[in-house]
Amino acid sequence: GGGRGVPVPIPGPRPGPRPQPAAAAAAKANLPGLKEVEDLLNKVFPYADTNKDGFVDRKELGAFFFKTSRRKELTKRKAQNMADEFFTMASLQNVKMTDKGISKKDWVNYQTEQFRRVALVTPPEETRKELAKAVQTYKRMLKDLTEGKERKEEPKKDKGDAGKQVKGDAKSKTSGKDAASAGSKPAKDDVKKGEKKKVKRKMWLPLESDPNLVNNYMRKLGVDTNKFEFHDIFGLTPDGTMHIPTPILAVMLLFPITEASEKARVEEEKKIAESKAKAPEGVYHVTQTVGNACGTIAVLHAVLNNMDRLKPKEGKFFSKFLEETKTMTSKERAKALGESKDLEVEHEVVAKAGKTKANAKEFANLHFIAFIKKNDVLYEMDGRKSMPISHGKTSGASFLEDAFKQVKKYMAYAPKDRRFNVIVLAPKANNQPAAWGGGAGGGGGAPSGGAPDEAAQKERIASLAAMGIPEEAARVALTQTNWSANRAVEFYFANMMG
């Protein structure tokens, strides 16, 4: 896992679910400390702009990161890597760049904007803590710079340096055979450190829980999204899913990993080990070994356990990967997934297309899992667990309700956290207009592309109004976004405020 906080001095967006109504309200609220961060960034900029041309380029930024850091382990090379990452992430967010680098105005705007993005998916108290931490760090940085206390690179010590530091007969202690062997043979601890570096975990960019992105990803990998696609939901209630056609094939949950959820996972794995339980037959499961691959693995679990309905195209990734790995164990499939260059490329493309332009290290505490129905059993499919987890009998009619019961358990682990998101895999909406109420058992909706009934409209307008959005503005935003509450919130804050 990685740190939850915003990295300083390059605050970045916290990737995660697209803003939910409650989360977006936090973005609208005033962020105490943000103005102070902005003022400090303006004061710090001239120290990074060593060319004094009003811009900071990659080389200047790398040098700035190095000299302002108090972390001894941050070498010049690592500092330059940080600078390169800063420019990459800024470019992905369409920050204006010139041959000279980034201007002072864009430098400040980009970094303060990241805190606004954080506020969309983070509890207010967490955002306040991160802002306070940033203020403290920038103040310390500015103090060191104004007092000339910037960090200098320490010279590398060699055997000669070590000998000079020892008084008296230091030379006799490092001379002859011992000195020769010390210079040519690595110490035991050094070998261990080297070995750890060789098995460094592979990391991908994280995915956003955005059905449009996930559908595009599925299509590239072989699923005909004119027939089946992922849908947003409005809540874990019948009203919140009334627009979803049936049958629902899978549920994908994005949730924050917490101490409570980890404790439950460890206890569950312990019970599996003690009972010597075997993985259920006919359920396709992949273990996660690649960092931030959980989104891809959740999609794999959703698709490869519904091949009879989805029927991915021959020769495309899903069909080929299933054929190559169907007789493998979960761990062997994980190895095959990690070695698939085609999948890694497609994953990166869709990850970079996300609105949050995710930084992999900052996404490590959010995790995707899937729920599927197989042989009339509800299974939880998690790459961080050794096998599919059975949650008992289910049916086509009760699958969604049964899956949502498990979703609520995860929500109970972090009741104040808003970084939950759920999308469901089902037929494309315009393929089944009866699901909106034209046939038996339906009611209360409208076909895809149209407005829901008057009661549903009022409910969605009220939900946005409860966040402080004027009712008329809420109605406009909803009509502009096909009555999607989630997208309406985004539309309002992006286009109608101010």
For the chain, what is the largest distance between any 2 Cα atoms, rounded to a whole number of angstroms?
Answer: 97
Q: How far is CA 160 from CA 154, 156, 181, in A?
A: 16, 11, 15
Is the distance from CB of 230 to CB of 211 less than 8 angstroms?
yes
In DSSP terms, 231 is beta-bridged to 424
Is the distance from CB of 10 to CB of 365 less than 8 angstroms?
no
Examine the residue annotation and report whether 294 is marked as an active-site residue of this protein.
yes
Residue 393 has φ and ψ, to the nearest 5°, of -65, 145
- What is the Cα Rg of the chain in Å? 27
- Scanning 231-276, the segments in alpha helix (DSSP H) are 259-275
Ramachandran assignment for 261, one of left (phi > 0), alpha (psi -120 to 50 degrees), beta (any other): alpha
- Among candidate residues 231, 243, 285, 367, the one labeled active-site is 367
Is the distance from CB of 50 to CB of 59 less than 8 angstroms?
no
Say which DSSP state 71 is in.
-
Measure the CA–CA gap between 468 and 449, rounded to whole angstroms: 27
Residue 147 has φ and ψ, to the nearest 5°, of -95, 5
- Among candidate residues 231, 243, 285, 294, the one labeled active-site is 294
3-state secondary structure of 56: strand
Examine the residue annotation and report whether 367 is marked as an active-site residue of this protein.
yes
Q: How far is CA 319 from CA 251, 304, 370, in A?
A: 21, 9, 20
Q: Which active-site residues does the annotation give? A: 294, 367
